[in-house]
């Protein structure tokens, strides 16, 4: 008979601890601007010079935000028809609102990828590392997917520099949490 009483006592203590700790954890989460997650999606148009540069339009929750995009390769592995590696992305939404992303990419390509008609298929996923202003407390992740290569054509209203030789059009989607609404 002592065993059930001991088990019940432990359960009551555990429940009591949860009642004390849970409201404190929830209050801390909300005070840091976290917990308010919204979808993120957009299209990014990129060109390669020394690094990947681009512009895009994003929808974050109900906000429409244009952004510039910079992707710097930090590792690269060529396995023949498959390339993979890591990148650091910076999305600059203007007015000091930036979002930094650690990303990993995998590509596969057609056999004629070195010709002017060549195209690769890119899948790139990343997680938000840090941000500034409205993205200061942001966390979450996003993926981009689409074609890139010398044979990809950008829309006529996108004007890359003359020395760009590779291009990409990627769709992005993800979830972002902890944005600061006041900035």
pLDDT, tens digit, for every residue of 62-97? 999 999 999 999 999 988 778 899 999 999 999 999
Q: What is the mean pLDDT of the chain?
A: 81
pLDDT above 50 (res 130): yes
Task: Mark 75-97 as b/e (b = at least 16 C-beta within 10 Å).
Answer: eeeeeeeebebbbbbebbbeeeb
- Residue 121: the pLDDT is 87
What gap in Å lies between CA 78 and CA 58, rounded to an integer? 31
Between residues 163 and 35, the one the model is more confident about: 163
What gap in Å lies between CA 9 and CA 40, rounded to an integer? 46
- Residue 21: the pLDDT is 41
Confidence of residue 5 (pLDDT cuts 50, 70, 90): very low
Confidence of residue 112 (pLDDT cuts 50, 70, 90): low
Percent of the chain with pLDDT over 90: 60
pLDDT above 50 (res 100): yes
Q: Is the pTM of this model over 0.85?
A: no
Taking phi first (over 0 means left), then psi (-120 to 50 degrees means alpha), and beta for anything else, what does residue 35 get?
left
- Residue 36: the pLDDT is 87
- Residue 181: the pLDDT is 66
- Residue 166: the pLDDT is 92
Of the candidates 180, 178, 156, the one whose C-alpha atom is nearest the C-alpha of residue 37 is: 178
């Amino acid at each position: 008979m002592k065993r059930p009483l001991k088990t019940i006592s432990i359960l009551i203590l555990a429940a009591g601890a949860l009642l004390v700790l849970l409201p404190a954890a929830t209050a801390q989460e909300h005070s840091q601007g976290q917990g308010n997650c919204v979808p993120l999606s957009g299209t990014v148009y990129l060109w390669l010079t020394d690094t990947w540069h681009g512009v895009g339009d994003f929808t974050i929750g109900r906000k429409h935000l244009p952004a510039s995009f910079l992707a710097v390769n930090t590792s690269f592995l060529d396995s023949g028809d498959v390339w993979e590696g890591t990148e650091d992305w910076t999305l600059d939404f203007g007015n000091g609102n930036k979002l930094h992303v650690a990303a990993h990419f995998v590509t596969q390509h057609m056999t004629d990828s070195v010709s002017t008609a060549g195209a690769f298929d890119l899948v790139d996923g990343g997680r938000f590392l840090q941000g500034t202003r409205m993205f200061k407390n942001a966390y979450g992740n996003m993926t981009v997917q689409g074609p890139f290569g010398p044979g990809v054509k950008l829309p006529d209203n996108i004007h890359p520099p003359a020395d760009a030789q590779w291009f990409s059009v990627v769709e992005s989607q993800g979830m972002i949490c902890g944005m600061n609404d006041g900035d």
